[in-house]
Amino acid sequence: MSNAKWVIPTPEDPARENEPALRADAFEVPATPWPLACVLVRSAHHTAAFVNRCPHAGHALDFPKGRFLSSDGAHLQCRSHGALFDPHSGECVSGPCVGERLVALPIERVDGTLQIDLPAVLRTD
Ligand code: FES
């Protein structure tokens, strides 16, 4: 699996594709010892992916499942204790783990798909 790439399933919503509003979708990377829960963050100008694990206490960010954004839609929010994360860098900007970061995943756009370098993902697990 040395150079393996994995294509992130990215259900497109054409009506939202060019909106600046942030969108965050859960996905799992299956090719790890256990499926790795992740979140894909997209807006018209930015795409990032993070491991769905809060640096504060290791909980998944979303509760209920799939709900990642703060009420103003500007940040990722951990539902356990309210930490807010910059959606571009993954840095915690408010809450109990200020200054810590979500684990970012290396993604690249290839032929209209988003791909992850699997060996890099395995190093983050
Ligand atoms: S586990 Fe995320 S803020 Fe506590």
> Pocket of ligand 1, candidates 56, 75, 77: which has the most ligand atoms within 8 Å of its Cβ, to mutate?
56
Rounded CA gap, 61 and 120, in Å? 21
Backbone angles phi, psi at 100, to 5 degrees: -80, 170
Query: Mean pLDDT, the chain, as a whole number?
Result: 86
Which of these CATH numbers, 3.30.420.40, 3.40.50.720, 2.102.10.10, 3.40.1360.10, describes 5-124? 2.102.10.10
Give the mean model confidence (pLDDT) for residues 54-64. 94
- Pick the residue whose CA is nearest to atom 3 on ligand 1: 81
Pairing of strands 46-51, 36-43: antiparallel
pTM of the model: 0.86
Q: Which ligand 1 atom sits closest to the C-alpha of 78?
A: 2
Side-chain-side CA neighbours of 105 within 13 Å: the count stands at 32
Percent of the chain with pLDDT over 90: 52
Q: Return the pLDDT at 9.
A: 77
Q: In this structure, what token pair is assigned to residue 78?
A: 């951990």
Q: Is 106 or 61 the better-scoring residue by pLDDT?
A: 61
Give the mean model confidence (pLDDT) for residues 98-107. 95
Q: Return the pLDDT at 34.
A: 79
Domain boundaries, the chain: 5-124
The distance from CA 121 to its chain's CA centroid, rounded to whole angstroms, is: 12
Rounded CA gap, 15 and 118, in Å? 31
Residues with CB under 6 A from ligand 1: 54, 56-57, 59, 78, 80-81, 83, 95-96
* pLDDT > 70? residue 123: no
Q: Are 105 and 113 a contacting pair, CB within 8 Å?
A: no
- Pick the residue whose CA is nearest to atom 4 on ligand 1: 81
Rounded CA gap, 121 and 125, in Å? 7
Q: Return the pLDDT at 1.
A: 43
